[in-house]
Amino acid sequence: MTPVIRLRQAVCLLGRFPALAGVDLDVAVGEILLVRGPNGAGKSTLLRACAGLTVVSGGEAWVLGHDLREDRRSVRRQVGLLGHSGFLYDDLTVGENLTFAARAAKADPAAATAAMAALGLDGRLRDVAVARLSAGQRRRTAIAAVVARKPSLWLLDEPHTGLDQSGRALLDVLIVDAAASGATVVLASHEVDLVAPLITRSVLMAGGRIIEDPAAPPTESQKTSPGAGVTHDALGVGEARLGQGEAIGVS
């Protein structure tokens, strides 16, 4: 079955800097994938690249059947990206933002109403300008904007940040429901313990590459590339081999 995301040695340059320096990744339909890694590893860039926002300048990149090196625009309608900024208009209300987002994505405006209800935004908050919301409420609105589009691929960058207990619970339910109904979810998060019950697989990213992946795709470059190799162990536990054959245990 064709994977939803297929990356082979993908390189993404931000100016001169290789944010993604050779990523190999396969993501199958219905997976909930966690991408973890230190700051600066390239997690956000990975999500943005899969959304078709950044130019992939090396390697292969296929998302939802679209070749991102040929045409990265068509894939955007089918993905929902939740970034650090919410892509919301500060001067408009929650309701207006969501209606606009739904209409722009050619989705049913009723989906916007349903999304608002799902995230507890359909009461007083519906008519409050986004600028006057708290950070957590903004996050909920941004999530609702993604939900309203009904995307086939969810790309969530630190989605739990700023949410309170009930918000987190709501989000978790949404993620699981999305995967259950045929969408695929990729999330980048530092809160490994929090998301552990949701996810189906976890990969570790560092230095612009995926260095730990329980289901790593086969590549020839594994044998010849310098630096860390790839482990095939359970979630997050295993060994990494450095250039000289040293091994370091990972907890």
Interface map 212-231 toward another protein (x if CB under 8 A): -------------xxxx---
Can residue 85 be called a binding residue for another protein (CB under 8 A)?
A: yes
The span of 62-70, 110-118, 167-175, 203-211 binding another protein (CB under 8 A) equals 203-211
Q: How big is the site for another protein, counted in residues (CB under 8 A)?
A: 61
User: Which position among 2, 65, 71, 104 is part of the footprint of another protein (CB under 8 A)?
Assistant: 104
Q: H/E/C letters for each residue in 93-139?
A: EHHHHHHHHHHHCCCCHHHHHHHHHHCCCCCHHHHCEHHHCCHHHHH
Q: CB-based contacts of 228: which residues, under 8 Å, 6+ apart?
A: 206, 211, 240, 241, 242
Among 208, 213, 230, 231, binds another protein (CB under 8 A): 208
Structure tokens at 153: 């691929």
Tokens 């482990």, located at residue:
231
Helix axes 94-104, 109-118, angle to 10 degrees: 130
Region 108-127 residues binding another protein, contact defined as CB under 8 A: none
CB of 120 to another protein, least distance (A): 23
211 lines the binding site for another protein (CB under 8 A)? yes
Kindly tell me the burial class for residue 198, based on how many C-beta atoms sit within 10 Å of its own C-beta (0-12, 13-18, 19 or more). Answer: middle
Between residue 6 and residue 35, which ones bind another protein under the rule CB under 8 A?
Answer: 11, 13-18, 21-22
CA 152 to chain centre: 12
State the burial class of residue 126 (Cβ atoms within 10 Å of its Cβ: 0-12, 13-18, 19+): middle
CB of 196 to another protein, least distance (A): 12
Neighbours of 248 (CB within 10 A): 9
What mask of x and - would describe binding to another protein in positions 134 to 173, judged by CB under 8 A? ---------------x------------------------
Q: How far is the CB of 137 from another protein (least distance, A)?
A: 17
User: C-alpha distances in angstroms, 138 versus 114, 151, 193?
Assistant: 17, 20, 24
Nearer to another protein, 46 or 211 (CB): 211
Residues from 36 through 55 that contact another protein (CB under 8 A): 36-38, 40-41, 48, 51, 53-55
- Are the C-beta atoms of residues 13 and 170 closer than 8 Å to each other? no
Nearer to another protein among residue 28 and residue 92 (C-beta): 92
- Which residue is associated with the tokens 């590459």? 209
Residues of this chain that interact with another protein (CB under 8 A) are: 11, 13-18, 21-22, 36-38, 40-41, 48, 51, 53-55, 57, 73, 76-77, 79, 81, 83-92, 96, 100-101, 103-106, 129, 149, 190, 192, 204, 206-209, 211, 225-228, 236, 240, 242, 250-251
